[in-house]
Amino acid sequence: MASVPLNSRTDAILKRLVRRQADAPIRKVLAKSRPEDVAAAMEHLSPPQQRRLYGLIEEGEFAGEVMAELSDDAVRQITREMDQDSIVDLLEHMEPDDATDVVHVLPDELRMRVIAEMEGDQEHADALELLSWPSDSAGGIMSPLMFKMHGTATCGNAIATLQDRHEELESVFYLYITDDVDTLLGVVSMRQLLTHPANTPLVSVMTREVIAVGPRDDQEEVARYVARYDLLAVPVVDEGRKLLGIVTVDDVIDVIREEAAEDMLLMAGVHQDVQEMAGSPLQLARHRGGWLLATAAGGIMAEIITSAYAGGELNYEVLAGFIPVVMGMGGNVGIQSTTIAVRGLATGHVQLGGALAFVLREVQVGVLLGVVYGFLLGLYGFITGWPDPYVGITVGVSVVIAISLGSLLGSGLPVLLARMGQDPAVATGPFVTTGVDILGILVYFQVATLLVGAS
């Protein structure tokens, strides 16, 4: 039995050979590699290297399979220097849903020309239809290639069809049963086909309760269905339950991985593509610098608040030293609550219907943490601030309030964004920490001023 090459080895070998521009050995490695491994290796190369490596792959199915596995950014880099005819040729070697993904990232003008050229091609008319759905919807990720038969057929008919069209129906998971106008009636598994006599009508074998999604359903919603019910594929149907396509489990895995990464990166205020981008540090900095503007503006606001309290009757020298701990505690609890909220909304652990209870629970946790750490840090402030007793009280009270605010903003902001139909992850991290910083410092000096005034 042939041993399976470890993917990281293919990566390393290809990378080294591309750097040495050793075309002949590269061709040899390519001939023995899986397209998935070549695509993975490509992600670690610079755009010119990507184009060089891709140029060495023979035109045809393998090239299409590699392209299907690449990130949007790599597709963009590689197709940039391909002419229209090469692109059309490439697309014809790809499955319709994968081809659609490539067409999606082409520059507008080239996309139009490619679509115009392909419109005559009957086989790819379906692929172009897919373009009409948003790319993160069920319609956008579905494949129009599926195994469907009319309700009047038998198990034997189905097996004969599978034998005739075995090239096209390469990855078949289920057989869908439809009526004259393509309405979805039921579903039959491959195992059911195998275990019934050939003359059994499909309608008497099929499961009638089919879990289906609409073409406009969000891909995350589709992923949740597949994950919950352990499906291999889920049919996409319109309002009249007309069968439009299927979303398969391998695409769902990609969606789950993408969405998890997207949530984490968005939360930190990093544009999703940054991770995939093999761009220059300057490009990366430009992508990431945007959200930092909010942090910088917040910092300036904190400075304005702080300086307003300087030179007054407060023991400013001692008080200023505790700004970092008040900010740090509030910020970290804020990030904890934000993370739990964003992840919970994504997995369904937190539902919008019960969101108020969730925020309330987070605030309770925040108040508890605030009281414990407020007491400890207040005690330290009491000792440090001696003989000014108000420093310790100010630190203690401010830590309680900052941590409570952190849990409230951290859990509340994502829920609020979700309610407004926005992605709850969008830069919630920087916003929450900046918000907690400003409010925390305001509370801190205000409490100190009140205490000094009262004494």
Radius of gyration of the chain (CA): 29
Specify the pairing of strand 184-189 against strand 174-178: antiparallel
Q: Which of residues 92-111 bind a copy of itself (CB under 8 A)?
A: none
Contact call for residue 344 and a copy of itself (CB under 8 A): yes
Contact call for residue 184 and a copy of itself (CB under 8 A): yes
Which of 331, 350, 367, 133 is closest to 236 using CA atoms?
Answer: 133
Q: Which of residues 25, 60, 354, 389 is near a copy of itself by CB under 8 A? A: 354
Dist. CA 222–CA 216, nearest whole Å: 10
Contact call for residue 311 and a copy of itself (CB under 8 A): yes
State the residue for tokens 């409230």.
Answer: 408
Which stretch, 1-9, 45-53, 100-108, 119-127, contacts a copy of itself (CB under 8 A)? 1-9
The tokens of 37 are what?
Answer: 């491994």
Provide the 3-class DSSP secondary structure of residue 225: helix
Q: Which of residues 31, 310, 356, 450 is near a copy of itself by CB under 8 A? A: 310
Nearer to a copy of itself among residue 17 and residue 335 (C-beta):
335
Dist. CA 124–CA 61, nearest whole Å: 15
Dist. CA 321–CA 34, nearest whole Å: 59
Q: Which of residues 108-167 bind a copy of itself (CB under 8 A)?
A: 159, 162-163, 166
Q: Which of residues 76, 104, 150, 288 is near a copy of itself by CB under 8 A? A: 288
Nearer to a copy of itself among residue 48 and residue 348 (C-beta):
348
Contact call for residue 353 and a copy of itself (CB under 8 A): yes
Which of 362, 345, 349 is closest to 411 using CA atoms?
Answer: 362
Q: Which of residues 257-276 bind a copy of itself (CB under 8 A)?
A: 257, 260-261, 263-265, 267-270, 274-276
Provide the 3-class DSSP secondary structure of residue 272: coil
Contact call for residue 335 and a copy of itself (CB under 8 A): yes
Nearer to a copy of itself among residue 1 and residue 24 (C-beta):
1
Q: Are 394 and 338 in contact (CB under 8 A)?
A: no
Nearer to a copy of itself among residue 193 and residue 202 (C-beta):
193
Nearer to a copy of itself among residue 76 and residue 241 (C-beta):
241
Instruction: Supply the DSSP string of 356-421, one letter for each residue.
Output: HHHHHHHHHHHHHHHHHHHHHHHHHHHHHHTT-HHHHHHHHHHHHHHHHHHHHHHHHHHHHHHHTT
Which stretch, 40-48, 75-83, 92-100, 116-124, contacts a copy of itself (CB under 8 A)? 40-48
Q: Which of residues 406-445 bind a copy of itself (CB under 8 A)?
A: 429-430, 433-434, 437, 441
- From the centroid of its chain, how far is CA 78? 23
State the residue for tokens 């129009």.
Answer: 144
The tokens of 309 are what?
Answer: 């309290």
Q: Which of residues 127, 369, 418, 447 is near a copy of itself by CB under 8 A? A: 369
**Shortest spacing between CB 426 and a copy of itself, in angstroms:** 14
Instruction: Supply the DSSP string of 117-144, one letter for each residue.
Output: HHTT-GGGHHHHHHTTS-TTBHHHH-BS
Task: Please provide residue 245's backbone torsions phi and psi, each rounded to the nearest 5 degrees.
Answer: 175, -175
Contact call for residue 302 and a copy of itself (CB under 8 A): yes
**Shortest spacing between CB 285 and a copy of itself, in angstroms:** 4
Nearer to a copy of itself among residue 139 and residue 429 (C-beta):
429
Q: Which of residues 197-226 bind a copy of itself (CB under 8 A)?
A: 208-212, 225-226
Q: Which of residues 12, 31, 112, 116 is near a copy of itself by CB under 8 A? A: 12
The tokens of 134 are what?
Answer: 């948003």
The tokens of 173 are what?
Answer: 């998971």
Nearer to a copy of itself among residue 169 and residue 426 (C-beta):
169
Q: What is the DSSP letter of 179?
A: -
**Shortest spacing between CB 322 and a copy of itself, in angstroms:** 6
Nearer to a copy of itself among residue 20 and residue 113 (C-beta):
20
Number of residues that bind a copy of itself (CB under 8 A): 130
The 231-260 site mask, x for binding a copy of itself (CB under 8 A), equals -x--------x-------xx-xxx-xx--x
